[in-house]
Amino acid sequence: MRSPINYLLINLATADMIVALFIGIPFVVTPILTHPEGKPGDILCKLFTGGNVGWVGALASVFTLVAVAIERYGAVLYPHSQKGKLTRTRLTVLIATCWTLSALWAIPGFNAITYMPEIKSCAHSWSKPIYAQFYTVGWSVVAGVIPIGILGALYSRMVYHLWLRKDNIREATQKALKRHRKRVTKMVVVVTVIYVLCWVPELLIYFLGFTGTITLVGVHHAIASALIVFNSSVNPIVYSLQSSQFRKHLTDLIFCKRNRVAPMSSTATASTGKRQGLEMEGETNMTVHPSQDVESVTVT
């Protein structure tokens, strides 16, 4: 399971959990507690009750989806090229970049959010209305236009390469590898489509609100936050529907089962590969034994 795509999915899951925790605080914890005012209230808004950290996680989730698309693009279109391979160093840099950019983009909102006693809630207070408009338009570009454009361009080429283009693959190894790539790519495409369906309405609501086309009220904020939380919570469901290994490991984790690994011969390894297939595994160092069929390819 320790492949680049799975490390990126772990990063995505971490970002999603941060979204659920910190965006949920204003809706679950704040209404049942008395929020302090003044300077302590402003600090509490910036760190916890204002949802700033949750929006950092939300943006990190978006950037991680772009990183996943880049990894899939290299694995599908350039499987034998070393330039596009995600080494451990490149993977670390990529994940660190996702979080660094997310934190940097959140700085203006972090500085602007304060506690407003008149509405008994945390809200952005901009010194000039134009700053709010710039920030809103910036969110639409950073979390909407740019990621959706990159994801659309990369996945359209991958879909064409895997499903639409005709090829004459005859070797069992190559056929099995292509099926594996289709499974993993289909999973991340579904996750990406859900992201688009959830984020576009949210960005559109705030864009129309700050441009004066509509008047933002409480229901708009509730809908926008609900869509973002839904986007983060639905990803594990997508993973479990697409990957039998994910379902197995998740079930073992829930019921506290331990996987005991014993030394295996080459025959046992082939048998294990036959049961598990290629889902969510690495795509290199693949061997096929003469007596094996396509599904019993082992990955080392």
User: What is the CATH classification number for the domain harbouring 41?
Assistant: 1.20.1070.10
Domain count, the chain: 1
- Is 215 part of a structural domain of the chain? yes
Q: Which domain holds residue 121?
A: 4-172+180-255
DSSP three-state, residue 116: strand
Residue pair 195/65 in contact by the 8 Å Cβ criterion: yes
- Is 275 part of a structural domain of the chain? no
- Is 17 part of a structural domain of the chain? yes
- Is 286 part of a structural domain of the chain? no
pLDDT at 261 over 80: no
What are the tens digits of pLDDT across the range 195-208?
889 888 888 887 78
DSSP three-state, residue 115: strand
CA angle 24, 49, 238 (to 5 degrees): 25
- Neighbouring CB atoms inside 10 A of 197's CB total 12
- Is 73 part of a structural domain of the chain? yes
What are the tens digits of pLDDT across the range 228-260?
888 888 877 787 777 777 788 878 888 887 755
Per-residue tokens: 160? 């064409």
- Is 51 part of a structural domain of the chain? yes
- What pLDDT is attached to residue 169? 66
pTM for this model (two decimals): 0.76
What are the tens digits of pLDDT across the range 80-122?
777 767 888 989 999 999 999 999 999 998 999 999 888 888 8
Best-predicted range by mean pLDDT (59-63, 126-130, 230-234, 265-269): 59-63
- Is 264 part of a structural domain of the chain? no
- Is 102 part of a structural domain of the chain? yes
